[in-house]
Amino acid sequence: MTPVEEIKDVVHSVFPDWQVYFYAIPEEVIDNKNVTQVLITESNSDVTGYGGNTFNEMAFGYRLQVFYGLDEENLIGKEITLYKALESFSWRITDSQPRYLDISQTDGQQMIKNIEINKTMTLDELNQ
């Protein structure tokens, strides 16, 4: 399983109604403010864990940009739930930016949250 697939599965395990996308939100759903959407983009990818004259691990970093649906409530509680779920799969929360309003929208402003996570995986874990 790739790291982004694992992240998507973790998000859906705690919030099955959230829409999760890799690298871009499709044009046909980008304006849907009634549902929470999560955009996952890669922020780091590096080889690490050398032994036997070769690398044995890779370190990954991803940015999760959460576009909360307009009716979403208890954002702190949802973020804690998400963080705990990610931690249970050995993802580290390395940065959690303050929420902000998308002021580019005039008819309904979504709250947005940016989260950075990282994880080091062995090559065996990546090949499963």
CA distance 2 to 126: 6
In the DSSP assignment, the letter for residue 36 is -
Output the pLDDT for position 106. Answer: 63
In the DSSP assignment, the letter for residue 24 is S
- Domain borders along the chain are 3-126
CA distance 100 to 97: 9
**Long-range CB contacts (within 8 A, 24+) of 16-19:** none
64 and 10 Cβ atoms separated by less than 8 Å: no
Q: What is the pLDDT of residues 64-122, one digit of tens each?
A: 999 999 999 999 999 999 999 999 999 999 999 999 998 876 677 899 999 999 999 99
Q: How confident is the model at residue 59 (pLDDT cuts 50, 70, 90)?
A: very high
Which among 64, 66, 46 is positioned nearest to 56, based on CA atoms?
46
Output the pLDDT for position 94. Answer: 98
Domain 3-126 falls under CATH 3.30.2000? yes
